[in-house]
Amino acid sequence: MRLAAREALLGFRRAPVLSALSITTIAFSLFAFGLFSLVALNIRSTLQAMESRVEIRAFLVDSTTPESIAAAMGDIGGFPEVARVEYITREQALERARSELGEFKDVFEAGFLPASIDVRLRDGFRDPATVRKIAERIKVYSFVDDVRFGEEWVQKLYSIRNVATAAGVILGLAFAAVSIIVIGATIRMAVMARSREISIMRLVGATDGFIQRPFLIEGLVKGLLGGALALLLTWFASSLITRYFIQTEFFDAKLAFLGLLGGALIGVVGSAVSVGRQIRRVQ
Amino acid sequence: MDASRPAFVIRFANVSKEYPRTGIALSDVSFTVSKGEFVFLTGPSGAGKSTILKLTYFDELPTRGDVWVSTTRSKGVSRKEISMLRRKLGVVFQDFRLLEDRTVEQNIAFALDVIGTPQEKIHGKVSRLLAQVGLASKATSMPRELSGGEQQRVAIARALANDPVVLVADEPTGNLDDRATRGVFQLLREINAAGTAVLMATHNLDLVKRSELRVLEINRGAVVYDSNDEKRRQPEFTP
């Protein structure tokens, strides 16, 4: 192992330009991936904040008795998906509408808006299908005039998130593939540069595994360094965006560690897929 | 005789080697090299000497027939077995094949390191090997600072690092002047005298004629003369 580590280190020292090139390529691949992840992360957290505001509002007919309202609220509050049920009187509705509309508050008059039962759903039950299902169940009460839950809005929110996630996964895989190809190419050059050593190692009885080990260690180290550099670049970009445009959220320690691990994985996989084939070419 | 420890170190049994592009390199070659024997392999360029040597360290495998080296057989041999076999062989080339960016002792230590020799044993072993080849004072020299003969001695020291049962040498004196040739040849004789078999391919007929050692002459991929055969005759080949 000591020799393998020393050989890997020698690999860096003997081909510093090539090594720097592969680290930079890994870093830029991961940086692009990191930037996209950062965008996805921020979209997701924004969506989560918006999503928590998803609400079902059941408007009541004017003649509804307080008993019916209380019974319905007890009923609805018992649904496992429901987090909170609130009764909004006509006066409260007017108050809320005025506060939300600011300068146009005077256009409303008392009695213009109906009373309603506002329903908030628990985390994990705010997807369009569940929201619609609950709305349908609330609609069956005879004193419920209409149910609103911003159907289109909820649908759009989810579409954006799904597209963001899918694009993230596809781009991530594409960048990982590019990194693996680049590492494969640099391994090929590294093997060619060290073909004399490899042929001597083989001649004195080194096993294939032994010959491959320094290249795998080198790949691992390059991947880790590339990952760290990418993390640094992403952090820098995130700071710039926060400073000049909008407040952004950066990866937490767990995600940052996963990024490094991703770099290491790309480094090792990239080396592993090509080193075996390349060293067999050495005579 | 113990069946697992044959009396030969190399045995070719009806070995043929064909290459897809260049065609037949060897056809139906059979010979054995006994333990502790010194054998010259002679013949014109392209006769098949190098192919025979490559077959002995399993860099090539026969198209037909079988090669045994020590207890390893070419038929069905795995890459792992080839690696293990090479730890029992020493190989020396005309172009020395030293690592130019490492010192003499690092070149030899490298061979020991690669096969997992414990670190604490490497230094002592390297010193003994350098003393054996007469280069104890050149341990920290770089290969380019040495003469051709000295570089070949380093290569021989490296080949001896594994305590091989057989030393395979492909034109080891091909790049050397007369004096260096005699020195390297003398060293190979000493190694042989200590019990290691030597199979040496050479163009140098003077060397072959001056010694009373066994000669195998190869021409057009076949053994045309073996001085061990009863019906002795003069070698055909003149360089």
Tens-place pLDDT, residues A182-218: 777 777 877 887 888 888 888 888 888 888 888 888 8
| CA-CA-CA-CA dihedral for B195, B196, B197, B199, to nearest 10 | -150
pLDDT at B232: 43
**Phi and psi torsions of B134, nearest 5°:** 75, 30
The reply to whether residue A203 touches residue B91, judged by beta carbons under 8 angstroms, is yes
The reply to whether residue A201 touches residue B114, judged by beta carbons under 8 angstroms, is yes
pLDDT at residue B3 greater than cutoff 70? no
CA distances from B212 to A39, B37, B206, B227 (A): 82, 12, 12, 10
Sign of CA dihedral A69, A70, A71, A75: positive
Burial class (CB in 10 A: 0-12, 13-18, 19+), B100: exposed
pTM summary value = 0.69
Query: For A22-66, what is each residue's pLDDT tens digit?
Result: 788 778 877 877 877 777 777 777 777 777 777 888 999 888 888
Shortest Cα–Cα distance, A206 to chain B (Å)? 6
Task: Tell me whether A283 touches chain B (CB under 8 Å).
Answer: yes
Given the structure tokens 């309202």, which residue do they identify? Answer: A69
The reply to whether residue B161 touches residue A206, judged by beta carbons under 8 angstroms, is no
Select from A2, A199, A205 the Cβ nearest to the Cβ of B83. Answer: A205
Name the average pLDDT for chain A.
82
Q: What ranges make up the beta strands (E) of B81-221?
A: 89-93, 166-170, 197-201, 214-219
Contacts of B83 in chain A (CB under 8 A): 202, 205-208
Query: What is the ipTM metric for this complex?
Result: 0.82
Query: Residue A99: left if φ>0, alpha if ψ -120 to 50, beta else—which one?
Result: alpha
Residue A40's CB is within 10 A of a number of other CB atoms, namely 18
Give the contacts of B226 (CB within 8 A, at least 6 positions apart). B31, B214, B215, B216, B217
Task: Tell me whether B57 touches chain A (CB under 8 Å).
Answer: yes
Q: Contact at 8 Å (CB) between B142 and B103? A: yes
Contacts of A207 in chain B (CB under 8 A): 79-80, 83
Task: Tell me whether A207 touches chain B (CB under 8 Å).
Answer: yes
Query: For B121-180, what is each residue's pLDDT tens digit?
Result: 999 999 999 999 999 999 999 999 999 999 999 999 999 998 999 999 999 999 899 999
Instruction: State the maximum Cα–Cα separation within chain A, in Å, rounded to a whole number.
Output: 97
